[in-house]
Amino acid sequence: MALTKNQDLLLIPGPTPVSDEVYEALSHETYSHTDPRFVQAYKNSLDMTKELFNCQEGEVYVVAGSGTLSMEMALVNTVKAGEKILILSHGYFGDRFIQLAQAFGIETDVLSADWGQHVCLSKLRELLAQNEYKAVTVTHVDTSTGVEADLEMLVPIIKESGALFILDGVCATAAIPEDMGKSYANNPDYKIDIVLTGSQKALGIPPGLAIVAFGPKALQAREELGHIPAYYSDIKNWRPIMENPGRYFATPAINMINGYEAGLKLVMAEGLEARYQRHRQVAQALVKALAVYALEPLATADHRASTLTCVLYPEGVDDGKFRNFLAEKKMIVAGALGPVAGKAFRFGHMGNTTVEMLEEALVLIAQALQDQGVKVDAEKALEVFKSNLDK
C-alpha cells in the first residue's frame, strides 16, 4: 500500500488518508454500469463486504450515499411508524437516530451516557424489562466522544429482549470486529442483526458509499413490514441489483465501487485480525504518548475506541490557536462537539494512517503546545509511542 498522493496529514475522524491503489481505481475510465468489467468489480465488492461482516447468512447492500443513508436504510427497512426503538447514545451520532426515527414516525426512548462514559447497563436492563422495543440502535464508536460500545455486554442483554440489534459501524468498520456470524454468550440467537457503515473512515476510501449488512432476522422484519415509506432506501428495490449487479435500479457510483473494491482488497490482504490488532496497538500506544504531554482522552479507560481519540486540552490551551497552528503545518485534526467543544480536539488514527504519520503528528502537537507556552518533551513522547508499539 502506498500513500504518496496524500499531501496533508489528514487526522480527522474521517474522511481518512486514501491509498494510491484506491486513487488509481477511482480514476479508472468510467465504464457503463452494465459493462462486465464493472459488474465483476461490484460482485467482488459485495462478496468482500459479506466477508468483512461475516454476513454469510444475510444480505449486503452497497449504494451511493453516506453513512446517514445507511442509518436510514437500517431503520426504515425494519421498523414502521408507531413502533418503538431504544437508542443508546454515546454522543452526537447516537443522537442522530432520534431525528431519523422521528422523520418516519417511529417512537423512541433514549438511554444516553454522559459524554466520555459508557451507557449504564442496569438502566438498560430496566428499560428493556419495562418496554417492548422493535430494535435497539448502538453506535459502535461515537465519533464525537471516542467511546466504543461494549458489544460483549450489550449484545446478550439486548438480544435477550427480542429486539433487533442495529449497529452503526461508521467509525469502526474494518478497524474493530463487527462479526454478524458470531453467537454472543454462546447463544445462537444472540447475534448482531444489522451493521451499517460508510466508506470514508477505517475502510480508507473516500466518502460516497452507504454500506448495510442485514442478518436473517432483519430480513424477516423487512418482509413483515410489507410496504415501507421509502423508495431509494428500500432494500427490496436494490435486492435484484445486489443479486446481479448488471441490472438497473438507480445508476451506481461506478468509480466509487471501483475504489471500494480496491480498498477492500487492501483490507483483506492485511487480514481482518491483523488489522484489528494494529488499530488496538496503535491507539493504546498513542494514548500513552499523549499522556507525556498531559493530554488525556475524554473516553474512560475501559471504553476507548481504537479508531479515534477525543483529546482534552490542559488548562489554558486555546483550541482555535492550537488547530490553526497544526493546519499551517498541514496537519488537520477536528474540533470537539457538544459539551466539550473548545475543550478538546478529535484525533483520528484509523484506516491507512501509518505509524510514521502519527510520529510526525506527535512532534507537531508538541510544537503547537509549545507555541502556547506549554512545556512538553516530544522525544519522550516518541520513545513511549515506539516502545508501546513493540510490545
Candidates 93, 276, 313, 345; binder of ligand PLP (CB under 6 A) is 93
Measure the CA–CA gap between 366 and 79, rounded to whole angstroms: 49
- Which residue's Cβ lies closest to ligand PLP? 67
Measure the CA–CA gap between 105 and 82, rounded to whole angstroms: 6
Does position 112 interact with ligand PLP (CB under 6 A)? The reply is: no
Q: Quick check: 212 and 194 in contact, CB under 8 A?
A: yes
Q: Minimum CB separation from ligand PLP for residue 207, in Å?
A: 6
CA distances in angstroms from 127 to 36, 110, 156, 228, listed in the order given? 51, 10, 15, 27
Q: Quick check: 169 and 14 in contact, CB under 8 A?
A: no
Does position 67 interact with ligand PLP (CB under 6 A)? The reply is: yes
Amino acid in the structure at residue 260: Y
Measure the CA–CA gap between 44 and 279, rounded to whole angstroms: 25
Residue nearer to ligand PLP on the CB measure, 95 or 234: 95
Does position 133 interact with ligand PLP (CB under 6 A)? The reply is: no
Q: Minimum CB separation from ligand PLP for residue 73, in Å?
A: 12
Does position 15 interact with ligand PLP (CB under 6 A)? The reply is: no
Candidates 171, 257, 266, 368; binder of ligand PLP (CB under 6 A) is 171
Q: Minimum CB separation from ligand PLP for residue 178, in Å?
A: 12
Amino acid in the structure at residue 301: A
Q: Minimum CB separation from ligand PLP for residue 94, in Å?
A: 8
Candidates 16, 139, 258, 352; binder of ligand PLP (CB under 6 A) is 139
Measure the CA–CA gap between 136 and 113, rounded to whole angstroms: 15
Residue nearer to ligand PLP on the CB measure, 139 or 353: 139
Contact window for ligand PLP (CB under 6 A) among 74-82, 163-171, 253-261, 271-279: 163-171
Does position 146 interact with ligand PLP (CB under 6 A)? The reply is: no
DSSP state of 197: E
Which residues does residue 211 pair with via DSSP β-bridges, in sequence order?
Answer: 62, 197
Question: Cβ–Cβ contacts within 10 Å for residue 81, how many?
Answer: 12
Q: Quick check: 143 and 198 in contact, CB under 8 A?
A: no
Residue nearer to ligand PLP on the CB measure, 170 or 283: 170
Residue nearer to ligand PLP on the CB measure, 145 or 384: 145
CA distances in angstroms from 64 to 38, 123, 173, listed in the order given? 15, 38, 17
Residues that bind ligand PLP (CB under 6 A): 14, 66-68, 71, 93, 139, 142-143, 168, 170-171, 198, 207
